[in-house]
Amino acid sequence: MSEPTIFTRILQGEIPAEIVAETENAFAIRDIAPQAPVHLLVIPKTQEYRNVVELAAGDPALLTEIVGLANSVAAEHADGDFRLVFNTGAGAGQTVFHVHAHVLAGGLNEKSTG
């Protein structure tokens, strides 16, 4: 079995982080280094999938659950509009290889995708 990722360790309470929302198979935390007024991470409880491509292929229902939880935390923490970003691969800036969605919201009115 692979080493627990930082997100698994947060889920298990080994590393402190406030879990702001949770569903059966996913949870949401605030990003430690926010890149937007509201920056949350929505994460599957399993660390089986390294990125969104693996997740979509392996468990599309779980991907749907992630999108639904992103929508509800964006409604709760911002005005409901949000960007959903899955960095996929180190060359795209992915640093934690336990799939997670960045929910970026609050005062975003630029057209950039970054």
Active site residues: 100
User: For ligand 5GP, which residue of 21, 84, 96, 108 counts as binding (CB under 6 A)?
Assistant: 96
Residue 17 in contact with ligand 5GP, rule: CB under 6 A:
yes
Residue 75 in contact with ligand 5GP, rule: CB under 6 A:
no
Residue 15 in contact with ligand 5GP, rule: CB under 6 A:
yes
Q: Which two tokens stand for residue 109?
A: 């009115």
Q: Which two tokens stand for residue 37?
A: 């007024």
What whole-number distance in Å separates Cα of residue 45 and Cα of residue 11?
7
Query: What Å distances lie between residue 4 and 56, 73, 82, 97, CA to CA?
Result: 21, 25, 29, 11
Q: By CB under 6 A, name the binding residues for ligand 5GP.
A: 6, 15, 17, 29-33, 41, 87, 93-96
